[in-house]
Amino acid sequence: MSAPRAIHLSEKLASFSDHWNPRIVGRYNDSELRVVKLSGEFSWHAHDATDELFLVIQGVMHIDFRDGSQRLQQGDAIIVPSGVEHRPRADAECHVLLMDRAGEPNTGNTPSALTAGDLEAI
């Protein structure tokens, strides 16, 4: 087996321009590393059987919860526990690394117009 290769997140993020359409940049155990560009509001949703991690790479994002909101800037991370309804949003473009269970829909248990189909691996 060959040595692992570094994942250059800035290069991966530079390879696309659309928003709310995560790309897979790596897999480990039963999980995926995904990068996504945010702009505007996402839909309210929850992931019933898995936690979700957000790490802001560039910009500022907010995650709304039914009882409040969290502001995250570059270098900040948050873990949303399974079953917790949330809505990411960003006033300006924001670049984020997500850690999700492999195959987990980006809209969790609440399909919407923003549900991504089969995620592209880049």
3-state secondary structure of 44: coil
Give the CATH architecture of domain 9-101: Sandwich (2.60)
Chain centre to alpha carbon of residue 57:
11
Return mean pLDDT, the chain: 95
- Phi-psi label, residue 57: left if phi above 0, alpha if psi -120 to 50, beta otherwise: alpha
99-119 average pLDDT score: 88
pTM for the full predicted model: 0.92
What gap in Å lies between CA 90 and CA 104, rounded to an integer?
22
State what percent of residues in the chain have pLDDT above 90.
84
DSSP element (H, E) containing 93: strand 86-101
CA–CA separation, 9 and 25 (whole Å): 8
Using one digit for the tens of pLDDT, what is the confidence trace for 12-59? Answer: 999 999 999 999 999 999 999 999 999 999 999 999 999 999 999 999
What pLDDT is recorded for position 107?
A: 86
Domain locations along the chain: 9-101
